[in-house]
Structure 1
Amino acid sequence: MENQTEHVCIICGQVKEEGITIISQFICEECECEMVHTNAEDAKYHYFIHQMRQINLQTNA
């Protein structure tokens, strides 16, 4: 049995085990997949950009 660590996704706010960590912020697999398939004209795209800015803000704090 593999020991997985749970993280809170900065995009959806849910606790997940699988995803990526950028610097110190976690993005779950589902949100990562949705982000890469979202068109830049889609309203959700701007939400993703806003949430991703948390990474930069937290590294500059």
Structure 2
Amino acid sequence: MVELEDSETIYQFLDDSLRNQKKISIGTDLKPEYSKAIDKLKVKHHFVNFMSNKE
């Protein structure tokens, strides 16, 4: 849990979590903070449309 979900916090989380993983692309929603963090990781960024199964 974090108090603030800014691009630097997101970057630190992704960098720590994925440090030993081969990264080609990371999929997220449209939150702007994700784009800034993923750009710093120097991988491709794609957007995912999350849909619910509600009828």
TM-score, normalised relative to structure 1:
0.27
Greater strand proportion: 1
Greater RCO, CA 8 A, separation 6+: 2
TM-score, normalised relative to structure 2:
0.29
